[in-house]
Amino acid sequence: MKVSVATEVFPLAKTFTISRGSKTEARVLVVTVEADGVQGRGECVPYARYGETPESVRAQVERLPAAFDRGALQRLLPAGAARNAVDCALWDWEAKRAGRRVWQLAGLAAPGPQVTAYTLSLDTPAAMRAEAAAQAARPVLKVKLGGEGDLARIEAVRAGAPAARIIVDANEGWTPESYAALAPALLRLGVALVEQPLPAGADAALADMARPLPVCADESCHDRASLAALAGRYDMVNIKLDKTGGLTEALALRAEAERMGFGIMVGCMVGSSLAMAPAVLLAQGAAVVDLDGPLLLAADRPYGLVYDAGGVHPPEPQLWG
């Protein structure tokens, strides 16, 4: 099997800011696998928070042996962006070689459109109110928080989008004290859940706190090995392919998380439709879907996913799977 990797850059429609910083472009890696005259593709987003760079991820891919399959890949690479791109490329290749769709190969029901959140990046309350008003027709808004003035920000968003379902993402930016102080106000404002309020590795305090506002693990949840430590601390888990290392582990993680009683959220990094396509299959029936990456780009790739009033639609075979 021939494996190649290429860097692609997608400018964002506007600057995207979270508690850890800002970005103006999505820099992604696209892995292509080829054998028997058939090609498959997968996309990943290396993430500095997890110690990844485009160079380190590329090196992981380029060190793969000449012959392997998806089962062997789970042992050859750790969970993370590199394995994600290769795993999803292999799923795409298998589907194209078989003349079937990935969900058929995986034994899944035919997918349908899923309502997705749309993310508002961290900004001043006035700017976030204006953006919320511009996006008020969307059914779900995800609001980036994680700093001083968060209550004013979420009040501004609610004022700008009074009918939207709101979820918030602190990106590890709060303390136990700030979470405890903010939770009642967030409930009053109709917020449905909060993602990762405390830093991963410093979230044990959640086990001893009342959680009237459901708490979803993001940075604390990567693959099935993460789940045991999350019990009693979190109510939901956010599954992202770049954390699990691909669709293969993501499907297994979802099944195990559901067995343990966690609610399911399916999220994404900021990437193109090629990165979102496998996640649409994973997201079927999830409590929360956050696959808005292509909506944040100035322009998506050809055969991009369709977003409309019904949500994000499954990919066409020209894109993936």
Confidence band, pLDDT 50/70/90 cuts, at residue 206:
very high
Structure confidence at residue 141 (pLDDT):
98
Q: Give the pairing of strands 191-195 and 165-169.
A: parallel
DSSP annotation of 12 reads E
Cα atoms in the Cβ-side hemisphere of radius 13 Å centred on 112: 5
Tens of pLDDT along 251-288? Answer: 999 999 999 999 999 999 999 999 999 999 999 999 99
Q: Report the distance separating Cα 220 and Cα 199, nearest Å.
A: 8
Q: Report the distance separating Cα 256 and Cα 236, nearest Å.
A: 12
Asked if residue 309 has pLDDT above 90, the reply is: yes
Q: Report the distance separating Cα 122 and Cα 52, nearest Å.
A: 23
Q: Which two tokens mark 174?
A: 């709060």
The pTM is what? 0.96
Query: Catalytic residue numbers?
Result: 144, 240
Tens of pLDDT along 170-190? Answer: 999 999 999 999 999 999 999
- If you write DSSP's letter for every residue of 157-168 in order, what string do you get? HHHH-TTSEEEE
Structure confidence at residue 212 (pLDDT):
87
